[in-house]
Amino acid sequence: MKPFYWLTYYTLKPLFKLFYHHQVFGQLPSGPAIIAANHTSFIDPPLLLTSIPEEVHFLARPELFNYPFLRFLITRLNATSDLKSLSKYLLEGKKVLLFPEGNRSYTDTLAPFQEGAAHLSLTTQVPIIPCYLTGTFSAWPRTQKWPHLTGHTTCTFLSPLSPKPYLTLPKKEARAALTAALRTSIEKAK
């Protein structure tokens, strides 16, 4: 257990509730899982951190580790820049978080998905939990320097996607099909 992680969790959780009336819907299954969420705002990672009642490890862009203060923060919040580390955490029974779009969207729509979540799921045989965030784009769009301090955000955990139906397919097809299923699940939640 990392004290800084939990200090951040218990500090931000009431602030998100106060300023953004944040609500969480759906249940996270016990055991290892890949949480894959849409990404439209700087607020998404800390909002998800406070929406998951257990310690989670997440994927961050390698460039974020180039800034000393940001590196200090995100490494203490369990960020890593490579899928190999996330795979290790999954095999240890932990949950990991990533954004299949790879980057924040400039609009409140889904960008093309990358196949990292599907790759992790297929290689570790761990389910993907699609997650749909709302209100974060309005709270802090990519084009704004500072966030709005009012709004309404939600985090909805959707039905898990098992890798099992895709394991008989060739690897490339399996990754593409599971990624498409993930995108469809998040699109339907809109």
Give me the domains of the chain, ranges plus CATH numbers: 3-189 (3.40.1130.10)
Position 190 scores a pLDDT of 86
Q: Which long-range contacts (CB under 8 A, 24 or more apart) does 107-111 make?
A: 107/40, 107/137, 108/40, 108/137, 108/138, 110/38, 110/183, 110/186, 110/187, 111/39
Let me know: does 59 contact 86? Beta carbons within 8 Å. Answer: yes
Q: What is the mean pLDDT of residues 102-113?
A: 90
Examine the pLDDT at 153 and tell me if it is beyond 80: yes
pLDDT for 1: 62
What value does the mean pLDDT take over residues 21-42? 97
* 23 has pLDDT over 80: yes
pLDDT of residue 106: 81
Average pLDDT for 49-74: 95
Residues of the chain above pLDDT 90, percent: 94
Split at pLDDT 50, 70, 90, the class of 126 is very high
